[in-house]
Amino acid sequence: MSKAVSVIIVVLVLFIGGALLIPNMVDWNKYKSTITEQVQAKTGYTVAIEGDLSLSVFPLPHLNVHDVTVLNGDNTLTKISEVDVSVELLPLLSKDVQIRSVSLLDPVITLSTNAEGVGSWVLAEKEQAIAEGKDTSEEAEDVAADAERDSAPSVSIGSFEISNGTFIYKDGVKGTSTSVENINLEGDMESLKGPFDVGGSLNYADMPVSFDMEVGDITTEGGVPVNLDASLQEKDINISFTGEVGLADKVAKGEFSIEGSDLNEWVASAPEGDFSASGKTVISQSEIALDDFEARLASLAFRGDVEAVNVNDANNRSFKFQLTETSDSNGDDMLTRILSGSDIQANFTMKPTEITVTSYSANLNDSELAGSAVYRYAAGESPATLRLLLKAGSINLDKWMNLADGNERNSDEKTSSENAGDKNSRTTQPSSYGFSIPIAMDLEATIAQLIAQGKTYRNVDAKIAARGDSLVINGFSANAVHNTNVSARGSIANTKTLSGLDLSVDIKTADAEALARSYDINMPESDITIGSLDADATVKGSLENMNFSVRAQGQGLTLTAKGIAKTPLEGLVLENLSLRVQHPNMVQAVKIFSPEFSMGRYWQKPVDLSTSLSMSDKSVRLASISGKAGPVPIKSGAFTIDTGGQKPSVNGEIALGDMVLPGTSENTANQASTSGSGASSRSNSSSANSGKWSSQAISSGWMNAFNADVKVSADSLAQNRWVLASPQLDFSLQNGTLNIPKLKANMFGGEFNLSANAKAGAESRGFSSVNVKANASSLNARKLYEAMTNKSSDLIDGQIQSFTTELSSSGQSMNTLVNNLNGQANLSGQNVVINGIDAAGFARAMGGSFKPVERIGVLLDATLYKGQTNFTSIKGNMPISNGIVTFSPLTLDGPEAVFDITGKVDLPAWIINANTAISIKNSDIPPFDLKISGSLSNPQKTAGSVMENYLQTKLKNKLGEFIEKEGIADKINDKLGIPLLGGSRNQQPANDNTSTDGASGEDESGSAPASEQPKPEDVLKDAIGGFLRNR
């Protein structure tokens, strides 16, 4: 017995020793090829062992292999740096494989599909069968796998470990690649049929994930219990699933839950706050269903159902869901407000390159949306394309945004706090006003009613296309408040930089003021309203350098502006700006901006002004001014307006064309540019004057509104018969005082100079003082006389050598200004001729003896009609007091006669009362008077009693019964307008407009033969008409 025991002990020692020594003595690397051949024969995959292979038996079978690679043809499926396997020895004797431990170091598993979707793990024979359409069915493979599993030995793994593993999957269909790195896990498996227990961590998309999974017993009849817990550590998200997976029907059923602390860190623009989701799920190869689905997103809560069908058909996956928000939350962010109380339904399909939303409908806080969408994406194409059709009955953005946006206020406070202490933060930090479009999009939206910021927009219609960073507005229109219509079209080449702009915008409104108030735009207080407004604008270029053109029409005013706008959102700078202002009535155009402005009918003419404009910080430069401002023709001009002082200042110069002021006749106006030469029109164009001056206060507020220093020139300036050629005017306006140091012009063949100043009156009414100094030289006496009487006349010729005047006044109206007019006027001239009167010839004729019929015609024709009186000098001194001009006297002195004019011109009353004392030198004719009185517009002329008595006595003695018999006295008196020769009828004053071409008493039977003596009445008619007519 003891001997047997000894034998057994020896055998055991030899066995154990052999188990320890023999494996170490064997070079197992010689068997690499045998091992790889057996694996390839069994699996079809090629295994390459490039490192050492070692095997030990005692105390436990142990295998260690380095640098193992598994390939399928040219595709590397797996590479492992080290494989270490330890197996229980005794269970092997009964075909019970109990693996004590398995360790894989640095395994890299790489799987991929080609463009046809065939996996890299598919063996060549099967890939060819698939290509030829002869692939065996999955059911046959499943049966074979089940049979193999039933005949396989029992296998258990005490523990397994993977260190620093990597899994890579490349989708050749979609052109995408997914990798899971840093895989570290530990687990155990009681048998190949379960249960399993595994836990560990990995990195997915640079995000660490930890997990723990338990799998129950695997049976072919029922489902496999699965319990999974996973955590996304950096995002603080926990995921769990509890249920079972059926191996036979390949259906997973169970309950799931997801919890997280802040989805905003995971999904941009999501509401801040905790989130969770839970429900029951059924997942099969073709369908996914979520029942009793509940989710919380910050303060939002959703309930509903989600269903997906044909999920295994990549070309026809269909989904539908119905979700209802039940919290009625009023959160601080926009998404919460939009989704609160919402009810959303959608049906969509997914294809490898397309998602099609066949229909969707949503009720979002009283906003009803419906429509369809198509989202297209393809391998190698970026960005994807979305075609969205949106139809909405009503969208209430106010209810979405809640307007009392505390979140925005908090954000503003945060920004303000962050910028505190950095006074230059706005300038040192670059601003970006662009936006990015992540997908290509075609949007067609029709919204019946859109409510935003308390305003209702109707019939919103938009067609917008986005490609990359470009945006094309094929059409946009909307009806806004106050019957306003807005439309836009155009494109933006780069939305990130807002460059490549080519946009057009049109706005039409029935009430511009009400529209401005609706958008909190302050407009100047005015009694004149713009009312309806029609505006359109185009912009091209970039936001930093934008070419624009704007046209606006309202209240009859049309404003057109073109130019370049730079940095409009940081500090607007305008360059190369051109403006054009048009209005059918200049006065009404000014009233739009200054309701108190008022001027007479003469100024109520069209405006059409053009100018170029440039702006700096507090300065505006107007150049190239041209056009017409009412009746004022503007040839050129340039002004600088500075707004940096206490009040604006204007500096510049302007050149006018032929300017005609009120009261000028058309014929005179046409002669404005050639004043001083040529004959005057004989038409009587004097404007009537009632003798009354307006008592309405003159507004002088404009004199305190700004300061100015301006030079003005014109081709001509005409009023009535006053015509200034090439006038030049310099004036300055400083704090309510207007100073005119120079007004220079050519007038009536001579020169005219004027200087003046005026101060605005109290309360901007009238003038507290007006002072004028003027002088003229070498004036054409005839044209001066015509201008003073405002009618054509050849009564006087010659030259006014000098005229000077100094005037002063004050008052609130024209009436008070004229009544307060004071000053002095002085006149001197030489070689003046009075036509129609030959004083010396008249005296000689009256002193001779003649036959009545022969001498009467010679007397009047030679001395009156064809006669004239020459004066070597004219001098006058005319003081002016309270609007009354006094002749004291005005003397015309010549070799044959002296005219002394005395009297007054009452400007306030618009009347004249003057007497001309006529003395005939070297004659027995006593001095006689010619009186002028009445309205300045139509004065009456009468001869004095001395002349009347003298002529009556003289002529009666000469003519006697001839005058009485032929009735000549009445005819003469008719022409003179005075009872010079007696007669049988009372006479009326002559009309200034009486024509010399015909008169009453003309022989209607025709002219007498040339050889006959003219009739006496015809001779007298022509003679007296030449004496007193106004030419």
Condensed to tens digits (0 to 9), the pLDDT of residues 365-394 reads 777 888 888 877 665 556 667 788 888 888
Two tokens at 842?
A: 């008249």
| Amino acid at position 457, single letter | Y
| Amino acid at position 388, single letter | L
End residue of a domain, out of 149, 177, 192: 192
Residues 669-683: tens digit of each pLDDT: 333 333 333 333 333
**What count of other Cβ atoms lies within 10 Å of the Cβ of residue 1016?**
20
Same domain, 182 and 140: yes
Q: Is residue 344 part of a domain?
A: no
Q: Is residue 85 part of a domain?
A: yes
SS3 148: helix
Residues 760-777: tens digit of each pLDDT: 999 889 999 999 999 999
Name 905's bridge partners: 885, 912
DSSP string over 473-496: EEEEEEEETTTEEEEEEEEEEETT
Which residue intervals of 671-767 are DSSP H helices? Answer: 702-705
pLDDT attached to residue 601: 82
Model confidence at 1014, in pLDDT bands (50, 70, 90)? very low
Residues 610-624: tens digit of each pLDDT: 998 877 777 888 889
Angular region, 982: left φ>0, alpha ψ -120 to 50, beta rest: left
The answer, yes or no, to whether residue 343 has pLDDT greater than 60, is yes
Two tokens at 907?
A: 């400007």
pLDDT attached to residue 12: 46
Same domain, 814 and 829: no
The answer, yes or no, to whether residue 994 has pLDDT greater than 60, is no
Strands (E), 748-766: 750-760
How large is the average pLDDT for residues 121-141? 61
Residue from 294, 395, 281 nearest 337 by CA = 395
Buried b (16+ CB within 10 A) or exposed e, 922-948: ebebeebbbbbeeebbebebbbbeebb
Same domain, 907 and 811: no
Cα 787 from Cα 332, distance rounded (Å): 82
Same domain, 865 and 959: yes
Cα 432 from Cα 559, distance rounded (Å): 32
The answer, yes or no, to whether residue 38 has pLDDT greater than 50, is yes
197 near 214, Cβ under 8 Å? yes
pLDDT attached to residue 389: 85
Same domain, 960 and 988: yes
* All residues at 6 or more sequence positions from 971 whose CB lies less than 8 Å from its CB, including other chains: 1001, 1017, 1020, 1021
Query: What backbone torsions phi and psi does residue 376 show, to the nearest 5 degrees?
Result: -110, 140
pLDDT attached to residue 655: 94
Angular region, 449: left φ>0, alpha ψ -120 to 50, beta rest: beta
Model confidence at 970, in pLDDT bands (50, 70, 90)? low
Query: What backbone torsions phi and psi does residue 481 show, to the nearest 5 degrees?
Result: -65, 160
Highest mean pLDDT among 12-21, 424-433, 742-751, 1004-1013: 742-751
Owner of token pair 């405006």: 607
Angular region, 73: left φ>0, alpha ψ -120 to 50, beta rest: left
Q: Is residue 1016 part of a domain?
A: yes
Same domain, 920 and 811: no
Same domain, 1018 and 870: yes
Owner of token pair 């302007």: 654
Cα 206 from Cα 193, distance rounded (Å): 34
| Amino acid at position 142, single letter | D
Residues 87-115: tens digit of each pLDDT: 776 665 566 667 778 888 999 999 888 88
* Of 192-196, 283-287, 708-712, 718-722, the least confident: 192-196
Cα 622 from Cα 613, distance rounded (Å): 5
C-alpha dihedral sign at 720, 724, 728, 731: negative
Residues 588-613: tens digit of each pLDDT: 888 777 777 777 788 889 999 999 88
pLDDT attached to residue 674: 36
284 near 251, Cβ under 8 Å? yes
How large is the average pLDDT for residues 936-960? 62
Residues 485-543: tens digit of each pLDDT: 999 999 999 988 888 999 999 999 988 878 888 777 776 565 567 788 899 999 999 88
DSSP string over 331-392: -SSHHHHHHTT-EEEEEEEEETTEEEEEEEEEEETTEEEEEEEEEE--TT--S-EEEEEEEE
Q: Is residue 201 part of a domain?
A: no
Same domain, 655 and 746: yes
* All residues at 6 or more sequence positions from 213 whose CB lies less than 8 Å from its CB, including other chains: 196, 197, 198, 199, 226, 227, 228, 229
Owner of token pair 């079809």: 44
How large is the average pLDDT for residues 949-976? 55
Q: Which residue has the higher pLDDT, 63 or 713?
A: 713
End residue of a domain, out of 177, 192, 207: 192
**What count of other Cβ atoms lies within 10 Å of the Cβ of residue 267?**
12
Owner of token pair 């397994």: 160
* Of 345-349, 370-374, 958-962, the least confident: 958-962
pLDDT attached to residue 711: 94
Model confidence at 823, in pLDDT bands (50, 70, 90)? very high
**What count of other Cβ atoms lies within 10 Å of the Cβ of residue 421?**
7
The answer, yes or no, to whether residue 120 has pLDDT greater than 80, is yes
* All residues at 6 or more sequence positions from 606 whose CB lies less than 8 Å from its CB, including other chains: 582, 583, 584, 585, 586, 628, 630
CA atoms lying within 13 Å on the CB side of residue 69: 9
Same domain, 780 and 739: yes
Same domain, 807 and 828: no
How large is the average pLDDT for residues 7-22? 46
pLDDT attached to residue 613: 81
Q: What is the mean pLDDT of the chain?
A: 75
* Of 62-66, 538-542, 629-633, 895-899, the least confident: 62-66
853 near 1013, Cβ under 8 Å? yes
How large is the average pLDDT for residues 973-986? 48
pLDDT attached to residue 428: 39
Q: Beta strand 154-171 with 96-105: parallel, antiparallel or unpaired?
A: parallel
Cα 261 from Cα 231, distance rounded (Å): 12
Q: Which residue has the higher pLDDT, 970 or 311?
A: 311
Name 480's bridge partners: 484
Same domain, 871 and 816: no
C-alpha dihedral sign at 974, 976, 982, 986: positive
Question: How far from 962 is each of 410, 853, 982, 1016, 1020, CA to CA, in Å?
Answer: 118, 8, 14, 10, 13
Same domain, 719 and 826: no
524 near 489, Cβ under 8 Å? no
210 near 231, Cβ under 8 Å? yes
Question: How far from 282 is each of 255, 608, 1003, CA to CA, in Å?
Answer: 9, 78, 130
**Structural domain of 1:** 1-192
The answer, yes or no, to whether residue 31 has pLDDT greater than 70, is no
| Amino acid at position 281, single letter | T
Q: How far is CA 506 from the centre of its chain?
A: 10
pLDDT attached to residue 603: 83
Residue from 594, 591, 616, 621 nearest 604 by CA = 591
How large is the average pLDDT for residues 828-835? 84
How large is the average pLDDT for residues 419-439? 51
Q: Which residue has the higher pLDDT, 298 or 1026?
A: 298
pLDDT attached to residue 1004: 37
pLDDT attached to residue 787: 82
Model confidence at 413, in pLDDT bands (50, 70, 90)? very low
Two tokens at 865?
A: 């009609």
95 near 87, Cβ under 8 Å? no
Residues 870-879: tens digit of each pLDDT: 889 889 999 9
pLDDT attached to residue 350: 80
pLDDT attached to residue 269: 53
Cα 796 from Cα 275, distance rounded (Å): 108
Strands (E), 406-556: 440-452, 455-467, 470-480, 484-494, 499-509, 533-541, 545-554
User: 1016-1028 and 968-976 helices cross at what angle (nearest 10)?
Assistant: 10
* All residues at 6 or more sequence positions from 3 whose CB lies less than 8 Å from its CB, including other chains: none
Q: Which residue has the higher pLDDT, 906 or 49?
A: 906
The secondary structure of residue 863, as a DSSP letter, is: I
Q: Is residue 269 part of a domain?
A: no
The answer, yes or no, to whether residue 892 has pLDDT greater than 80, is yes
End residue of a domain, out of 801, 820, 839: 820
Q: Is residue 112 part of a domain?
A: yes
Q: Is residue 275 part of a domain?
A: no
Q: Is residue 634 part of a domain?
A: yes
pLDDT attached to residue 760: 92
Residue from 614, 615, 624 nearest 654 by CA = 624
pLDDT attached to residue 685: 35
Counting the structural domains of the chain, the total is 4
pLDDT attached to residue 592: 75
Cα 837 from Cα 668, distance rounded (Å): 28
Percentage, residues of the chain above pLDDT 90: 19
